[in-house]
Amino acid sequence: MRHTALTIAFVALPLAATAQGFTYGERNTDFPPAFPEQFRAELVSSDVSLKTELLAGGLVHPWGIATLPEGGGWLVTERPGRLRHLGTNGTLSDPISGTPEVVAARQGGLLDVMLAPDFADSRMIYVTYAKPVDGGSATAAARMMLAEDLASVSGVEDIFVQTPASQNPMHFGSRAVFLEDGTVAITTGEHFSDEERPFAQDLDKTYGKVIRVNADGSTPDDNPFVGQDGAIDTIWSLGHRNIQGAAVDASGTLWTIEHGPAGGDELNRPEAGLNYGWPVISYGERYGFTGGGPIGSGEAVQDGMEQPVYFWDPVIAPGGMAFHAGETFADWNGDILASSLKPGGVVRLSLDADGMVVEEERLLRDIGRVRDIEVQPDGSFIILTDFENGSVFHVTPE
């Protein structure tokens, strides 16, 4: 369901709700939600106790994780530029050789990792990273072949490099997911600064966008801006701030979660050619350390710009996300599990048949900054904690 400025009826909702001691807390702004399901869903508590098993510690800001087939463990990235294999027995490999050089500064480094759908035959994996380029750095995505012994990669080939270069190593976005048709969605950020954030609205730049490419980096013929003068033809959607969560649901629909400023984190279903508003509209405001005050137009709604499916204020500072499936925690099948960096833990969202958020639950609130989440075939899930001494945990029922 789309919600545009033409069809909005504002609804006032309570500012706080509680479930097992958690309350939503004080807001940064007072923008009313555009429809009832857009904000502060009913807080619930599952009748389940969670067990967290430490699989590995001592990782430096782990960022992305991918599950290898047939019980082969996981690939894990560390932001300083290392890719490692983690065995199911907790054995952590030396860094896998051959990965691309990264800009390991501020939010930059080696970021997401995923397997090709035909990995068992092709051995192809994909990573996103902050690439050193003339003039600074850029979000990039590359594919490469993983050796059978898991010790090296070869044939590194970029399938996307953001333009133009930025000297500000912030807001790289950088999730990548395969879509149902075999194309790849790559998310980017707008590099944070007042000077660069307006580029999220520009079709001749790939800041603040969802990018869609074929698996080899070529442009799909049905991308929305193919053939449009002055537009980069790999752009799928625009007007995003810093998308660090992306996942595809059981019906094949792409969903994303992006960081807002002070308030205004967003859950979206990006559609071809649509504009999601940043930095013209937002449910948040400028950070206090940058002077505070309104963003862009100072409005949360504007004609021709899309509304988020859901927003948070105060923020959850989202990392990765996944749709739950499996026998373990079966009551959560179809729900979104989203990583939270602040206040931390995992946020579960239950959706109705129309894809609207009807329940929210806060899980593992004491575990700290969670950067990524990976649901396992049995329905249990893996989380990464993003610290200088970060960890990988396996989450199962108590």
Catalytic residue numbers read 171
Residues 6+ apart with CB under 8 A from 30: none
**Residues facing residue 23 across a β-bridge:** 18
Burial 296-307 (b: 16+ CB within 10 A, else e): beebbbbeebbb
- Phi, psi for 128 (deg, rounded to 5): -115, 155
**What is the three-class DSSP state of 86?**
strand
How is residue 25 written in tokens? 């807390």
Pick from 121, 114, 118, 122: nearest CA to 142: 114
DSSP 8-class letter at 289: G
Helices then strands (H, E): number in the chain?
1, 26
How is residue 133 written in tokens? 């380029």
Cis peptide before 164 (omega within 30 of 0): yes
Secondary structure, 3-state, 15-73: CCCEECCEECCCCCCCCCCCCHHHECCEECCCCCCEEEEEEEEEECCEEEEEECCCCCC
Distance between CA atoms of residues 165 and 320, nearest Å = 25
For 321, counting Cβ atoms within 10 Å of its Cβ (0-12 exposed, 13-18 middle, 19+ buried), the class is buried
Cα–Cα separations (whole angstroms), residue 314 to 25, 265, 342: 7, 8, 9
